C-alpha cells in the first residue's frame, strides 16, 4: 500500500510540474462543453424542443392577427412582430431568404374583413325567406403569405406549418361556430337561446374546444426523483466530461512510454515492485484528475451556463450515484490509458491511436449525437463504446431520474473494461521486459 | 558462494533464429569487481537483464547468491542494485524527489530513507543540487545520480550497464573512485563497458563476451601475460576480431 501511495505521489508531482499539460486536460473539455452546448441549444430550437421564432408582419391589424397570436401562445411557436409601417411583404421574404429568420408570415391588409365576409356567406339567408338558406358552392379562403427558409430542416418546416395550420383551422372553426350559434338563435328565437348555452354564440366555440379525446403521458412511478427534462446542458455536461476523462488516456500512455523509453522502466523492473503497483499509482493519480475534470465541467454547467443564456446543469437528488458513475468512468479511462501505454511503442503511436479511438468511441457512444438519432447499424455498434456505458448511466440518473440500482449493469461494464485493460497491460508489461 | 552464477543461458531474439546468448556461463565471486566486455550486440545487456531478473532466459539457470530468480525473484531484487545504461530518472522531479520515490519503492521509509537520501546525495556530490529538477542537470550529474539511485537499497550486488557513457573526465573519475570504495566495503560489482582502460583500472577480473558466449575470462594482468598482448584493447580485438558490428 505504501508503494502505491509513493507511486501516486510521484505521479501527482509529475502532473503538477507539467502545468501546460494539466491545463489542456481541464481546458479542452471545458471549452468543448460550452461551445457544443451553445451550438446544440440552437439545434434544439430547430428540432422543436424549444420555441421557434416566427416573424409576423400584420398589415391588416385586425381581429385575425389578434386571434392568431392568441392561438400561437399555446404552441411551440413564438411570434416576432414587425412594425407594418416600416416593413412590407418583400422585406419579410428577404429576411427569411437570407436566413435571418427561418419562418415568416404576412397577414395582408383587409384579411380580417374578407375572412368575416366569407364566414358570413356560409350561412347567408336565401331568397328572402327567414328559414330558407343556401349553402354556397365554394368559399373563398383568405390567404396568408407564408415564407420558409429553404435551408431549414424538413422536420422543422413540417412542425411549423402544422402548428400554424392548426391555429388557422381553430380560428376558422371558432368563427364558423360563432356564426352557427347566431344562426341557430335566429331560427329558434330568443326564448330558447337565452336558456341553453348551446345556442349562445359566445359560449359555443369554447364548448367545442373542450377535448373529448386526450393523449396522457404516463410517468414511470419507480423513479425516485422528479424527471429532469431533456436539454442540451443535461446531455452535454456528462457527455463532454466523459470525453475529457477518456482523453486523459493519452497523458497516461505518454507517462508510461516516457518511462519505457528511458531507463526508468528497466530500473523499476529490477526493483522489488510489481507493475500492478506502479499502475495502481498512476490510476489513483489520474482518477483524481478525472474526478476534478468532472467536477469542473459540472460546476461550469451549474454556475456559468446561466450567465451565457443556457439552462443550469442539475444533478438533483442523485449526487452520490453521479459521483460513483464518474468514478467508474474514470477507472475505465485510466485502464485504457495504461493499456495504450503498454501496447504502443512510441508516444506518436499512442497519441494518434488514443485520440482516434476516443473520438470514435465518443461518436458511436452518443457524446456528439444522441444514440437514438443514429442509423440502426450505429445504434447497435454503440453498445461496444465505454463512453456509451458511462453516458447511458449518466442519462439514466440525470435525465430519466433512475436510482443507482438501475445503472449497475453499465457500471459493471465500465469496471469489467477496467479489469480487462489492466490485466492486458500487466501481461504486456511482462512481454515488454 | 557465488554472488552471480549463470549456467548455460540461452536466449533467442524474439524474431529470427539468431541467439542473443548461446550457452553463456559466468561465475562472479562475492566481493569481486567483474568487468563484462564485448562489442555491440555481443549479448552484454541481455546477460545483465537476465541476471537482474528483468526477463527470464529461454533455458539455463541464473542464480544470485545461490537463489534462483524463478523461485525467489523478490528476495533477489532486494539485494541487487541496477544502474541502467539509459538514465532512469524523472526529469521533472528534483534529485531528492527521485531518490525519495525510488527509496520508497525499495521499501525504505522514514528516518532511514532520509539518511539514505543524504548519503546518496553526498556520494554523488549533488547535495547542493538536491532541489533542482534533473532536467537542469548536466549528463555527468545525471550519471552520478543514476548511480546513486542504484545504491539506495544498500545492494550486495551492484550491476552497472555502461555507467560512464558520455560524461566528462571529472565525473568519470568520481564514479570510478566511489565504485572502488563500494567494492572495498564488500559490494560485488558487475560492470559492462566499452572502455578497455576503464576495465583495466577498475576490474579485478574481466570476461569477454562475443556472439552470446563468454570467450575469455580472468584477471586482466594474467590474460595479457598469457596472450602476450600489451593492453586489453589489443586482446579484445584479437578475440573478437576487427570487423565492424553494425547489425
Burial A336-351 (b: 16+ CB within 10 A, else e): bbbbbbbbbeebeebb
Judge whether B246 lies within some domain. Answer: no
Judge whether B245 lies within some domain. Answer: no
- Verify whether the Cβ–Cβ distance A266 to B97 is below 8 Å: no
Q: In terms of CA atoms, which chain A residue is nearest residue B158?
A: A270
Q: For position A107, which CATH number holds?
A: 3.40.1710
Judge whether A176 lies within some domain. Answer: yes
Q: In terms of CA atoms, which chain A residue is nearest residue B160?
A: A267
Q: In terms of CA atoms, which chain B residue is nearest residue A14?
A: B92
- Verify whether the Cβ–Cβ distance B89 to A262 is below 8 Å: yes
Range of the domain at A130: 51-209
CA distance B159 to B188: 8
Range of the domain at B120: 2-240
B30, three cell numbers: 562475492
- Verify whether the Cβ–Cβ distance B133 to A263 is below 8 Å: no
Say whether both A106 and A142 belong to one domain: yes
A315, three cell numbers: 444533478
Judge whether A143 lies within some domain. Answer: yes
Q: In terms of CA atoms, which chain B residue is nearest residue A275?
A: B105
Residue A142's nearest CA partner among A122, A157, A162 is A122
For residue A273, what pLDDT is reported?
Answer: 85
For residue B101, what pLDDT is reported?
Answer: 92
For residue A228, what pLDDT is reported?
Answer: 46
How close does chain B come to A266, measured CA to CA in Å? 7
For residue range B159-216, list pLDDT tens digits in order.
Answer: 988 888 788 888 888 888 888 888 888 889 898 888 888 888 888 888 888 888 888 8
For residue A208, what pLDDT is reported?
Answer: 65
CA distance A410 to A406: 9
How many domains are there within chain B?
Answer: 1
Stated as kind and residue range, the H or E segment containing B192 is: strand B188-193
Judge whether A190 lies within some domain. Answer: yes
The ipTM (two decimal places) reads 0.86
Total Cβ atoms within 10 A of residue A84: 17
Of A3, A13, A269, the CB nearest to B97: A13
How does DSSP assign B80-148, residue by residue? Answer: EEEE-SS--S-TTSBHHHHHHHHHHHTT--HHHHHHHHHHHHHHTT-GGGTTSBGGGS-HHHHHHHHHH
How many domains are there within chain A?
Answer: 2
Judge whether B191 lies within some domain. Answer: yes
Judge whether A219 lies within some domain. Answer: no
Q: Which of A161, A177, A209 is the last residue of a domain?
A: A209
Judge whether A399 lies within some domain. Answer: yes
pLDDT per residue as tens, chain A (433 positions): 788 998 898 888 888 888 888 888 888 888 888 887 887 766 655 555 566 778 888 888 888 888 888 888 777 777 777 765 566 667 777 777 776 777 888 888 888 888 888 888 777 765 445 555 566 666 677 788 888 877 666 777 788 888 888 888 888 888 887 777 777 777 776 655 555 655 555 665 666 666 666 666 555 554 544 444 567 777 788 888 899 899 899 999 999 988 888 888 888 888 888 888 888 999 999 999 999 999 998 888 888 888 887 778 887 667 888 889 999 999 999 999 999 998 888 888 888 888 898 888 888 888 887 777 777 888 888 888 999 999 888 888 877 777 888 889 899 999 999 999 999 988 887 776 6
For residue range B77-115, list pLDDT tens digits in order.
Answer: 888 888 888 888 999 999 999 999 999 998 888 889 999
Of B77, B85, B133, the CB nearest to A270: B77
Say whether both A306 and A417 belong to one domain: yes
Chain A residues with CB-CB distance to B77 below 8 A: 270-272
Say whether both A91 and A192 belong to one domain: yes
Stated as kind and residue range, the H or E segment containing A107 is: strand A103-107
Say whether both A352 and A392 belong to one domain: yes
For residue A292, what pLDDT is reported?
Answer: 92
Q: For position B67, which CATH number holds?
A: 3.40.50.300
Chain B residues with CB-CB distance to A264 below 8 A: 88-90
- Verify whether the Cβ–Cβ distance A263 to B106 is below 8 Å: no
Say whether both A86 and A171 belong to one domain: yes
- Verify whether the Cβ–Cβ distance B97 to A6 is below 8 Å: no
- Verify whether the Cβ–Cβ distance B77 to A271 is below 8 Å: yes
For residue A336, what pLDDT is reported?
Answer: 93
Amino acid at each position: 500500500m505504501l508503494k502505491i501511495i509513493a507511486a501516486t505521489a510521484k505521479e501527482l508531482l509529475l502532473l503538477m510540474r507539467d502545468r501546460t499539460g494539466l491545463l489542456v486536460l481541464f481546458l479542452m473539455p471545458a471549452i468543448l462543453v460550452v461551445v457544443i452546448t451553445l451550438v446544440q441549444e440552437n439545434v434544439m430550437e430547430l428540432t422543436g424542443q424549444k420555441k421557434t421564432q416566427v416573424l409576423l408582419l400584420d398589415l391588416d391589424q385586425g381581429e385575425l392577427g389578434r386571434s392568431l397570436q392568441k392561438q400561437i401562445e399555446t404552441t411551440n411557436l413564438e411570434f416576432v412582430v414587425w412594425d407594418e409601417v416600416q416593413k412590407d411583404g418583400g422585406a419579410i421574404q428577404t429576411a427569411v431568404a437570407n436566413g435571418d429568420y427561418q419562418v415568416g408570415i404576412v397577414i395582408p391588409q383587409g384579411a380580417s374583413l374578407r375572412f368575416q365576409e366569407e364566414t358570413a356567406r356560409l350561412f347567408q339567408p336565401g331568397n328572402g325567406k327567414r328559414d330558407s338558406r343556401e349553402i354556397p358552392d365554394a368559399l373563398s379562403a383568405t390567404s396568408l403569405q407564408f415564407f420558409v427558409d429553404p435551408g431549414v430542416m424538413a422536420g422543422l418546416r413540417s412542425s411549423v406549418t402544422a402548428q400554424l395550420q392548426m391555429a388557422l383551422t381553430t380560428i376558422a372553426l371558432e368563427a364558423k361556430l360563432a356564426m352557427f350559434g347566431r344562426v341557430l338563435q335566429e331560427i329558434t328565437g330568443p326564448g330558447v337561446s337565452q336558456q341553453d348555452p348551446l345556442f349562445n354564440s359566445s359560449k359555443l366555440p369554447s364548448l367545442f374546444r373542450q377535448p373529448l379525446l386526450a393523449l396522457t403521458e404516463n410517468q414511470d412511478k419507480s423513479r425516485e426523483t422528479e424527471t429532469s427534462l431533456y436539454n442540451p446542458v443535461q446531455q452535454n455536461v456528462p457527455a463532454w466530461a466523459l470525453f475529457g476523462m477518456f482523453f486523459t488516456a493519452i497523458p497516461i500512455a505518454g507517462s508510461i512510454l516516457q518511462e519505457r523509453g528511458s531507463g526508468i522502466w528497466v530500473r523499476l523492473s529490477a526493483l522489488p515492485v510489481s507493475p500492478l503497483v506502479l499502475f495502481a499509482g498512476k490510476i489513483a493519480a489520474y482518477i483524481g484528475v478525472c474526478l476534478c475534470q468532472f467536477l469542473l465541467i459540472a460546476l461550469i454547467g451549474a454556475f456559468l451556463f446561466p450567465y451565457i443564456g443556457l439552462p443550469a446543469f442539475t444533478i438533483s437528488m442523485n449526487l452520490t450515484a453521479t459521483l460513483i458513475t464518474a468514478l467508474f468512468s474514470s477507472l475505465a479511462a485510466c485502464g485504457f490509458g495504461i493499456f495504450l501505454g503498454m501496447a504502443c511503442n512510441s508516444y506518436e503511436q499512442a497519441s494518434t491511436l488514443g485520440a482516434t479511438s476516443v473520438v470514435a468511441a465518443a461518436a458511436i457512444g452518443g457524446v456528439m449525437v444522441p444514440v437514438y438519432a443514429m442509423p440502426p447499424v450505429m445504434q447497435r455498434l454503440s453498445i461496444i463504446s465505454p463512453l456509451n456505458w458511462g453516458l447511458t448511466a449518466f442519462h439514466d440518473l440525470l435525465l430519466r431520474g433512475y436510482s443507482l440500482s438501475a445503472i449497475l449493469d453499465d457500471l459493471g461494464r465500465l469496471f469489467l473494461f477496467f479489469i480487462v485493460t489492466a490485466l492486458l497491460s500487466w501481461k504486456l508489461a511482462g512481454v515488454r521486459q | 558462494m557465488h554472488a552471480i552464477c549463470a549456467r548455460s543461458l540461452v536466449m533467442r531474439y524474439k524474431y529470427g533464429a539468431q541467439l542473443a546468448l548461446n550457452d553463456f556461463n559466468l561465475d562472479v565471486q562475492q566481493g569481486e569487481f567483474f568487468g563484462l566486455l564485448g562489442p555491440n550486440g555481443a549479448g552484454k545487456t541481455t546477460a545483465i537483464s537476465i541476471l537482474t531478473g528483468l526477463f527470464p532466459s529461454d533455458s539455463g539457470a541464473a542464480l544470485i547468491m545461490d537463489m534462483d530468480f524463478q523461485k525467489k525473484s523478490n528476495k533477489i531484487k532486494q539485494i541487487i542494485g541496477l544502474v541502467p545504461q539509459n538514465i532512469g530518472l524523472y526529469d521533472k522531479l528534483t534529485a531528492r524527489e527521485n531518490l525519495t520515490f525510488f527509496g520508497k519503492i525499495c521499501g525504505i521509509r522514514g528516518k532511514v530513507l532520509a539518511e539514505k537520501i543524504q548519503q546518496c546525495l553526498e556520494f554523488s556530490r549533488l547535495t547542493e543540487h538536491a532541489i533542482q529538477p534533473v532536467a537542469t542537470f548536466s549528463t555527468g550529474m545525471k550519471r552520478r545520480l543514476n548511480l546513486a539511485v542504484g545504491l539506495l537499497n544498500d545492494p550486495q550486488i551492484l550491476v552497472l550497464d555502461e555507467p560512464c557513457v558520455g560524461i566528462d573526465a571529472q565525473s568519470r573519475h568520481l564514479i570510478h573512485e566511489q565504485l572502488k570504495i563500494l567494492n572495498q566495503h564488500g559490494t560485488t560489482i558487475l560492470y559492462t563497458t566499452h572502455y578497455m582502460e576503464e576495465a583495466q583500472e577498475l576490474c579485478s577480473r574481466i570476461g569477454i563476451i562475443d556472439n552470446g558466449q563468454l570467450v575469455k575470462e580472468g584477471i586482466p594482468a594474467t590474460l595479457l601475460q598469457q596472450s602476450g598482448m600489451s593492453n586489453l584493447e589489443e586482446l579484445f580485438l584479437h578475440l573478437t576480431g576487427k570487423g565492424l558490428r553494425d547489425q
